[in-house]
């Protein structure tokens, strides 16, 4: 069989026109139908590129110059921060980012879901799309005898040293920088992953935007934290908003950031934050949305789509720490939440107690196993809410929904592609997608969340 030859070769210089943008933020140019992915370019632009990698079905290129600019292009400093620091779309105006994300959702609805007629609304964006993240997990290394911290260069473990992130809340940037400087002063060594020696692996900071409470987590290889008393004293003096200092021990050779063991060195084991009127306790390892302002927008839309009157039974599959469950419980008769992670269910129960919400029940297990068991016990949902991971809903859960026939399904998604796939399955099973509302939870990145209202036909 003849080997298929790509129409381009490595290091070739080409003049191209860019047609589209991937969800990673790469512009797409095609040469004889062969796609080339190029960072830093935009649709409707033309430019000169150098081919950097050639695979069988696609390749990559480096933008050398832009010969025709998009009206959505904005000039940013040519820094590794803008290139790699979680701001892959910072060269696109915010208006342009929202339009791109809306198009991305529309495209997958048509291409994957065969749902070209479904209303997709304009993306709900932020008033200020910078400095929104309430959590940082920053790797630490050493260079010339000094600690460095920042972010990994893509596809490597090379740390790009930086003093701030453009998408982290200011208090988070301040905390990470202060802890790095204090550890330098105390000569605490960075972890060396190659030799599996040294101490300091990551600095983690979490911030409750509504409460102003700050948590610092120091992740080390060793169970002993050098100069612990001086370290704690200096952090407390430098960071007046700190309410919790935690030592997390991760002794394994792994890319996983945090280990299983936490020790509270100072203050409380949790900090608190609010989404709307609901209060949440956040521990060092709790899952909690990183953009609470937009989480409120997303959950309010989910609540609107649920259309609760106070008489409904609601099931929340993939309930996590109960964020959506507790939101819905304010207007539902009863809410049942299921989640496979035991610690998340413990957090959900504690958060219900914290808010005095008694009309919720949480259970550990796989949604596709637990929900049919509830059904056999006579628990039937009027509204079913799903908020699955990026891979989308399990097929068995989708079949359970089709068999159970709740009048409404509210689908919260962090991946438009798997959302479109799952909507197609529900449509074929007797449902109709009423509308899709994208929400920009992660400005300056290619990610977009959606909430969809799905109704049972002839209900």
According to DSSP, residue 57 is labeled S
162 CB-contact burial (10 Å; exposed 0-12 / middle 13-18 / buried 19+): buried
Confidence grade of residue 145 (pLDDT, cut at 50, 70, 90): confident
Nearest to 285 by CA among 315, 251, 261, 316: 261
Helix (H) or strand (E) run with residue 235 in it: helix 228-238
The pTM assigned to this predicted structure is 0.91
Nearest to 224 by CA among 268, 265, 179: 265
Asked whether 268 and 293 are in contact (CB, 8 A), the reply is: no
Say how far apart CA 86 and CA 365 lie, in whole Å: 33
Give the percent of the chain with pLDDT over 70: 97
Say how far apart CA 279 and CA 451 lie, in whole Å: 22
Q: Helices (H) and strands (E) in the chain — how many of each?
A: 10, 21
Question: Which CATH fold would you assign to the domain 98-127+291-456?
Answer: Rossmann fold (3.40.50)
Q: Which residue's entry shows tokens 């210089």?
A: 13
Residue 153: per-residue pLDDT: 77
Residue 245: CB partners within 8 Å, gap ≥ 6? 215, 216, 217, 218, 232, 235, 236, 264, 265, 266, 267
Say how far apart CA 183 and CA 225 lie, in whole Å: 11
Catalytic machinery residues: 414
| pLDDT value at 87 more than 90 | no
Q: Tens digits of per-residue pLDDT, 283-337?
A: 998 889 999 999 999 999 999 999 999 999 999 999 999 999 999 999 999 999 9
| pLDDT value at 423 more than 50 | yes
Residue 81: per-residue pLDDT: 61
Average pLDDT over residues 51-79: 90
Say how far apart CA 304 and CA 324 lie, in whole Å: 12
Identify the bridge partners of residue 136 per DSSP, sorted by sequence position: 205
Residue 1: per-residue pLDDT: 41
Nearest to 414 by CA among 371, 369, 446: 446
Beta-strand runs (E) in 318-448: 334-339, 360-364, 383-386, 408-413, 431-439
Say how far apart CA 340 and CA 362 lie, in whole Å: 11
| pLDDT value at 418 more than 70 | yes
Whether the domain at 98-127+291-456 and the domain at 135-282 fall into the same CATH topology: no
Crossing angle of the two packed helices 367-376 and 395-404, in degrees rounded to 10 = 20
Average per-residue pLDDT for the chain = 92
Confidence grade of residue 2 (pLDDT, cut at 50, 70, 90): very low
Question: Which CATH fold would you assign to the domain 135-282?
Answer: OB fold (Dihydrolipoamide Acetyltransferase, E2P) (2.40.50)
Asked whether 308 and 329 are in contact (CB, 8 A), the reply is: no
Instruction: For the chain, give every domain's residue range.
Output: 13-70, 98-127+291-456, 135-282
Nearest to 37 by CA among 5, 61, 19: 61
Residue 420: per-residue pLDDT: 97
Confidence grade of residue 82 (pLDDT, cut at 50, 70, 90): low
13-70: CATH architecture: Beta Barrel (2.40)
Asked whether 271 and 244 are in contact (CB, 8 A), the reply is: yes
Helix (H) or strand (E) run with residue 228 in it: helix 228-238
| pLDDT value at 83 more than 70 | no
| pLDDT value at 206 more than 50 | yes
Q: Tens digits of per-residue pLDDT, 156-195?
A: 788 888 888 899 999 999 999 999 999 999 999 999 888 8
- Pairing verdict, β 213-220 and 59-68: unpaired
Q: Tens digits of per-residue pLDDT, 351-383?
A: 999 999 999 999 999 998 999 899 889 998 999
Residue 151: per-residue pLDDT: 84
- Pairing verdict, β 271-275 and 278-282: antiparallel
Residue 21: CB partners within 8 Å, gap ≥ 6? 27, 28, 42, 43, 100, 104, 446
Q: Is the dihedral of CA 215, 219, 220, 223 positive or negative?
A: positive
- Greatest Cα pair distance, the chain, in angstroms, is 71
Asked whether 191 and 152 are in contact (CB, 8 A), the reply is: no
Average pLDDT over residues 91-109: 95
């Amino acid at each position: 069989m003849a080997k298929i030859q790509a129409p381009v070769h490595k290091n070739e210089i080409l003049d191209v026109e860019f047609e589209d943008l991937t969800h990673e933020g790469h512009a797409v140019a095609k040469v004889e139908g062969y796609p080339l992915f190029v960072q830093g370019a935009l649709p409707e632009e033309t430019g000169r590129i150098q081919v950097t990698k050639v695979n069988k079905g696609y390749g990559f290129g480096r933008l050398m110059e832009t010969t025709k600019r998009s009206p959505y292009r904005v000039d940013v400093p040519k820094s590794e921060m803008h290139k790699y620091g979680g701001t892959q779309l910072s060269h696109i105006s915010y208006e342009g980012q929202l339009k791109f994300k809306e198009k991305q959702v529309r495209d997958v609805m048509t291409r994957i879901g065969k749902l070209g007629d479904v209303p997709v609304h304009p993306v709900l964006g932020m008033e200020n799309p910078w400095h929104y993240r309430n959590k940082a997990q920053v790797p630490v290394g050493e260079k010339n005898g000094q600690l460095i911290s920042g972010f990994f260069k893509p596809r490597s473990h090379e740390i790009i040293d930086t003093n701030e992130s453009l998408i982290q809340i200011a208090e988070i940037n301040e905390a990470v920088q202060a802890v790095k400087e204090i550890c330098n002063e105390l000569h605490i060594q960075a972890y060396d992953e190659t030799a599996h020696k040294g101490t300091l692996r990551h600095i983690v900071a979490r911030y409750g935007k509504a409460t102003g409470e700050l948590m610092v987590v120091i992740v080390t290889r060793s169970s002993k934290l050098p100069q612990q008393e001086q370290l704690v004293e200096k952090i407390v003096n430098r960071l007046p908003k700190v309410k919790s200092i935690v030592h997390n021990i991760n002794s394994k050779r792994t890319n996983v950031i945090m280990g299983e063991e936490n020790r509270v060195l100072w203050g409380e084991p949790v900090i608190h934050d609010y989404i709307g009127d609901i209060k949440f306790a956040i521990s060092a390892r709790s899952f909690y949305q990183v953009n609470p302002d937009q989480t409120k927008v997303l959950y309010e839309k989910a609540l609107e789509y649920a259309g609760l009157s106070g008489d409904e039974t609601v099931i929340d599959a993939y309930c996590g720490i109960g964020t959506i469950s507790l939101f819905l419980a304010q207007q539902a008769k009863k809410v049942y939440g299921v989640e496979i992670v035991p610690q998340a269910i413990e957090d959900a129960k504690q958060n219900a107690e914290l808010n005095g919400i008694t009309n919720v029940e949480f259970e550990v297990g796989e949604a596709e196993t637990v929900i049919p068991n509830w059904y056999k016990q006579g628990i039937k949902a009027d509204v079913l809410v799903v908020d699955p991971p990026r891979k989308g809903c399990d097929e068995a859960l989708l079949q359970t929904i089709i068999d159970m026939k709740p009048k409404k399904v509210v689908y919260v998604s962090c991946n438009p592609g798997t959302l479109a796939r799952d909507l197609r399955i529900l449509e074929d099973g007797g449902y109709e997608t009423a509308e899709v509302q994208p929400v920009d939870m992660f400005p300056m990145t290619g990610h977009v969340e959606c909430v969809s209202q799905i109704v049972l036909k002839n209900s």
